[in-house]
Structure 1
């Protein structure tokens, strides 16, 4: 079974706990790392030793973040060759058409508006967890000197 590393960028600790709890309820057992501001998640990716470490990530990103907002983070991630292929799921309270449009233009893969009702919120996150369990993720392929492709 494939293992992914879920990066959750969420400044509301209550939402972060609820998201993690409901991802677990959906059967997700993968590592979940939480960042509470936009700059800290960029610092994390910049601190990784090489590109190969970026291949197994998926990012769940709020738009309303301190330091750097979600659009700023998304723009930086998608403009960096090391992180541009990481799937990014926007999970935010806004349903403003302009925010949705900008998010897709900047390269988000999925945009989800957080429901305000507790039960719907839980169902939404559990459904997201089920989607994550069947998603395919980019694999970094290197070509060696003989021209063979090897999975790293």
Structure 2
């Protein structure tokens, strides 16, 4: 028996972004919308603690997490370690998206199971371009578990 679902029935990937700066949140949302990502498919957490609470309260895990490293309360380094150390979350792709470009942060990200590391760009156009790459690969091309 074959099951055929229309595009309207298949759930779109949900993206959770851990970012403490409200201005950066707004720019990221705008760049995602410019790339055709619906606002309702994006959730923001202001720090790692809030991100982990969102994950714990969600019925379904997000398809992707974008994670800033430098946040208050629980930073991205601690949060990445907890996500990748939790059986029910460790399969979720985590894209580190931060102002850091230090070799130490890049190495630590990959050692702790991060899937991709991006340094935040300096212009909005560059942000739109990076999100186009993220969307093309992680949303349209990669096969993700749910």
TM-score (norm 2): 0.84
Deviation at 1:45, TM superposition (A): 1.5
Deviation at 1:121, TM superposition (A): 2.6
Asked if residue 109 in structure 1 is aligned to residue 115 in structure 2, the reply is yes
The answer (yes or no) to whether the contact 1:91–1:113 under 8 Å persists in 2 is: yes
Figure out how many residues of one structure are paired with residues of the other and give that number: 135
Give the aligned CA root-mean-square deviation in angstroms: 1.7
Distance 1:129 1:20 in 2: 13
Distance 1:27 1:117 in 2: 19
Deviation at 1:118, TM superposition (A): 3.3
TM-score (norm 1): 0.81
Structure 2 portions without partners, runs of 5+: 1-6
Structure 1 portions without partners, runs of 5+: 140-152
Q: 1:44 aligns with which of 54, 68, 75?
A: 54
Deviation at 1:129, TM superposition (A): 2.7
Q: Which residue of 2 aligns with 1:100?
A: 106
Deviation at 1:86, TM superposition (A): 0.7
Deviation at 1:14, TM superposition (A): 1.0
The structure carrying a bigger strand percent of its residues is 1
Q: Is the radius of gyration larger for structure 1 or structure 2?
A: 1
Deviation at 1:123, TM superposition (A): 2.1
Deviation at 1:78, TM superposition (A): 0.5
